[in-house]
Amino acid sequence: MNNVLELKNIIKNYPDGQQVNEVLKDISFHVQSGEFAAIVGPSGAGKSTLLTIMGALLSPSSGQVLLNNEDISHLSKKQQTSIRLNNIGFIFQNSDLIPYLKISEQLQFIQKISSKPAIDAKEILVKLGLEQRLSSYPRVLSGGEKQRVAIARALVNQPELILADEPTASLDSKRGREVVQIIQQTVHEENKAAVMVTHDERVLDLVDSVWQIEDGKLKKVR
């Protein structure tokens, strides 16, 4: 299998007064198609910073971010925006749904601004058990339903890579596990690559590989 995402010798520094704070220290990482990887570690270890670099939301101080063998870390802002829209699906710890759009419209909006061929947004929502919520607004949804809509939104443009930032953080254990199971099933059935940053060790049995970050250094532990 091919590496969908590969990081090579990523370093991220921030100025801190008269000194430089090195948040990420020479990190290398890879995830293949059909693989669901988790990154764990204590708060402040650099997990979210690493995920934002993977998603071309933040540039590293040095190193390469390869998406399908193309270095995306130093492209123009316009090019990175296009890649995020068409090739990467984001799932955040808060669903961040647009409050004035119905559930079906949340997905249709993404499709309108994408250059990818449109697929049936309703079909994705039905697959995720949201067929009764197509005409609902986010305010009437439960936390678990909102996260499933967020997953549907991440998948609607058929991205090669899914990035999930603490997707279970606002959910109880049952709903959180259901959300991670949906990601797992999507990765395996549709041969996508996914990376999940999480504190929730109860769902690690659902992933294919586990990486640990601590003091800015990353290592594979499973």
pLDDT digits (tens, 9 = 90+) for 169-216: 878 888 889 889 999 999 999 999 999 999 888 999 999 999 999 989
The pLDDT of 119-135, averaged and rounded, is 83
User: Model-level pTM?
Assistant: 0.90
The pLDDT of residue 199 is 87
Domain assignments of the chain as residue spans, ordered by start = 35-59+78-220
What is the reported pLDDT for 133? 87
pLDDT tier, 134 (very low <50, low <70, confident <90, very high otherwise): confident
- 83 Cβ contact partners less than 8 Å away, ≥ 6 residues apart: 56, 67, 72, 75
Give the model's pLDDT for residue 104.
Answer: 87
State how far the Cα of 87 lies from the Cα of 72, in Å rounded to an integer.
Answer: 11
35-59+78-220 topology per CATH: Rossmann fold (3.40.50)
